Amino acid sequence: MPKPFLKGIDPKNIFMHARGFHLADAVIGNFNIDENPEMGAELVQPAMVLSAFNSELFLKCIICIETGDVPTGHHLVYLFNLVSPKTRSRIEHIWNTEVVPLREPMWRTIETKLPAIELPIKRDLPSALMAANKAFEEIRYSYESKNKKSRFYVSDLPRVLGRIILQLKPEWEHLRRSVKEISRPDQKS
């Protein structure tokens, strides 16, 4: 049975929401693990969850831009397959020409130094998405089961998706939330 779609949501609102998670992910991603490996170990799973969620939100934003509808669910493969073929091709092109060459040395190191990982790490985006398909669900609840199968190596995907969105909607380049838009429930206006 197909999952329901949400109607009447402004894709700009999805973009603004996703951008906040993207910035939070970037702050964690800029942490210098060499200076504090223990803290780095604590941040690995939260960073993966943020990245997976951000990928989900950016994919939903693209789908909403293209169709006017917003799918529900978290599975990255499902969402990616709802993106138009032309846009999927552009995403894969950036992945293949920029992300793969950038991450190749790291992936080779992982393959040689961590033999417990299912080898080899598949570089193509559809395979990487399949490996990370349920990452948002499985990593955020990693304490529940030892049978989790997610392998997450798509942390660069939100950057790629954000770039695609700005190609589709260049007028969103300088969108920012104002302090007035952000209010905490415990604060009085």
pLDDT score, position 170: 96
Residue 185 domain-assigned (yes or no): no
- Structural domain tally of the chain? 1
Report CA 77 to chain centroid distance, whole Å.
Answer: 12
38-73 confidence digits (pLDDT tens): 887 888 888 888 999 999 999 999 999 999 999 998
Per-residue confidence band for 88, with pLDDT thresholds at 50, 70 and 90:
very high
Based on the number of CB atoms within 10 Å of its own CB, is 162 exposed (0-12), middle (13-18) or buried (19 or more)?
Answer: buried
4-36 confidence digits (pLDDT tens): 888 999 999 999 999 999 999 888 877 777 788
Nearest by Cα to 76 from 93, 60, 96, 94: 60
Report CA 73 to chain centroid distance, whole Å.
Answer: 14
pLDDT score, position 189: 43
Residue 67 domain-assigned (yes or no): yes
pTM: 0.86
> Any idea what the CATH number is for the domain that residue 82 is in?
1.20.120
Residue 125 domain-assigned (yes or no): yes
What whole-number distance in Å separates Cα of residue 138 and Cα of residue 86?
30
What whole-number distance in Å separates Cα of residue 18 and Cα of residue 160?
13
pLDDT score, position 108: 87
133-173 confidence digits (pLDDT tens): 888 887 777 777 666 666 788 899 999 999 999 999 999 99
Return the sign of the alpha-carbon dihedral for residues 62, 64, 69, 75. Answer: positive
Residue 110 domain-assigned (yes or no): yes
Cis bond upstream, residue 120 (ω within 30):
yes
The residue that leads in pLDDT, 49 or 116, is 49
Residue 58 domain-assigned (yes or no): yes
Residue 183 domain-assigned (yes or no): no
Residue 33 domain-assigned (yes or no): yes
Residue 111 domain-assigned (yes or no): yes
The 10 Å Cβ neighbour count of residue 4 is: 11
Could you list the residue range(s) of the whole structural domain that residue 155 is in? 7-174
Place of tokens 């200076």: 35
